[in-house]
Amino acid sequence: MKILGIDEARRGPVIGPMVIAGTMFDESKLSELKKIGVKDSKLLTPAQREAMFDKILKLADGHKEIIVLPDEMDARASVGLNINLLEAQKAAEIIDALKPDIVFVDSPTSPKAEKFADYIKATLKNKDVDIHAEHKCDVNHPECSAASVIAKVTGDREVEKIRKEIGLEFGSGYMSDEVTQKFVQEHWENKLSKYIRHSWAPIKQLKSKKFQKFLEVD
């Protein structure tokens, strides 16, 4: 029996992509995941995650990572698609590609975790797949923990690519970070704005302030 775990990384930052990852294993290999120390990526150091990345993929019977760039995240907002629905669509893509028997996916919907499974099924080609959407799935199921690690490492690598491309420091990418705040305020309107999620509240606020100033001057 093939069991697929799905999780995301970098859902919340204002800078850079979100990553959805799926890792699929034969049921007999789940004990091996525990032996190599797989757990929720937030419970591992960056060095531990990097060391575990190749081990996970070597054990996997299939895997798929989807990198969702800021412009795609912004486009979904323009058609009334919230981030949960976008994430569900990407999870469905992974399920259709890997064709598992059972899926365990970390759910962002609150308070009812199972609503996320309904969102996924709505765009899934194979409606007969057994999908379990749970809160803390990345803690409780090793296949989902593995997906958490793959998503996190992939996301971190994408962020490092951005740093090399632009040659500037932008901090963690979260607006709680003063370095990120400064970068966003300085670059949300120039060529570096393609790395920024314009549908996020902080950018909407900047646009609103600029428009208000325009009205006051006018």
Digits of tens for pLDDT over the chain (218 positions)? 999 999 999 999 999 999 999 999 999 999 999 899 998 899 999 999 999 999 999 999 999 999 999 999 999 877 888 999 999 999 999 999 999 999 999 999 999 999 999 999 999 998 889 999 999 999 999 999 999 999 999 999 999 999 999 999 999 999 999 999 999 999 999 999 999 999 999 898 887 776 565 555 55
Q: What is the pLDDT of residue 78?
A: 79
Helix (H, G, I), strand (E, B) or coil at 27: helix
pLDDT at 217 (0 to 100): 52
The whole-number pLDDT of residue 80 equals 81
* C-alpha span between 73 and 10 (Å, rounded): 12
- In this structure, what DSSP letter does residue 194 have? G
CA distance 36 to 18: 26
What the block records as the tokens of 155 is 């996301």
What is the 8-class DSSP label of residue 54? H
pLDDT at position 214 is: 52
| Domains, the chain, with CATH or none | 2-164 (3.30.420.10), 167-217 (no CATH)
